[in-house]
């Protein structure tokens, strides 16, 4: 599987390099250049490469997760930890942080649930940032103390 992915990526890379030389010159107006077949095909290649990268990452990640000893247990702890962070963030979000009438007057129809979800997302970001910084500080302090 890994060799097949590499071969496909090399073929797509060669096709992309050939198309690079067929792109319109810089003096062609943008309205005409955007309709160029080579450019459209290069965008399709980009999407294909992105899709291949995503599929390969997920498949090989799952393979390593299943085959490594204790991998599923560690993954379960991480998922449960993330769910706990999301639950805490949801409980911290109020949903009344924004004047809904003012938002509607400005042409942005917003509900209290939407504001609560946005607050939850921000709280998750802040909590994960705090956890990451604390983990780095703990790791650094542990290395300093152990020497």
Contact status, residue 42 vs residue 16, Cβ threshold 8 Å: yes
Question: What is the chain's percent helix, strand, coil content, to nearest 5?
Answer: 80, 0, 20
User: What is the rounded average pLDDT for all residues in the chain?
Assistant: 86
* Pairwise CA distance, residues 113 & 59, whole Å: 35
Boundary residue ending a domain (48, 67, 86): 67
* Residue 147, pLDDT above cutoff 80: no
Contact status, residue 64 vs residue 57, Cβ threshold 8 Å: no
Burial of 121 (0-12, 13-18, 19+ CB in 10 A): middle
* Tokens read off for 123: 């709280």
Q: Do 60 and 79 lie in a common domain?
A: no
If one counts the domains in the chain, the total is: 2
Q: Do 107 and 92 lie in a common domain?
A: yes
Q: What is the pLDDT of residues 23-40, one digit of tens each?
A: 777 777 777 777 777 778
Q: Do 78 and 139 lie in a common domain?
A: yes
Boundary residue ending a domain (14, 32, 67): 67
**Residue 104 pLDDT level (bands cut at 50, 70, 90):** confident
* Share above pLDDT 90 across residues of the chain, in percent, rounded to a whole number: 30
With b for 16 or more beta-carbon neighbours within 10 A and e for fewer, the 64-92 pattern comes to eeeeeeeeeeeeeeeeeeeeeebeebbee
Q: Do 49 and 27 lie in a common domain?
A: yes
89: domain range?
Answer: 71-146
């Amino acid at each position: 599987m890994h060799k097949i992915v590499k071969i496909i990526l090399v073929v797509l890379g060669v096709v992309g390099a050939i198309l690079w030389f067929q792109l319109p010159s810089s003096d062609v107006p943008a309205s005409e250049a955007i309709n160029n077949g080579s450019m459209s095909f290069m965008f399709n290649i980009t999407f294909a490469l992105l899709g291949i990268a995503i599929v390969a990452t997920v498949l090989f990640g799952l393979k390593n997760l299943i085959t490594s000893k204790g991998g599923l247990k560690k993954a379960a702890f991480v998922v449960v930890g993330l769910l706990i962070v999301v639950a805490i963030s949801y409980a911290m979000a109020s949903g009344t942080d924004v004047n809904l009438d003012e938002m509607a007057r400005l042409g942005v129809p917003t509900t209290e649930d939407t504001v609560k979800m946005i607050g939850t997302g921000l709280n998750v970001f802040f909590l994960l940032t705090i956890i990451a910084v604390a983990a780095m500080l703990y790791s650094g302090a542990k290395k300093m103390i152990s020497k």
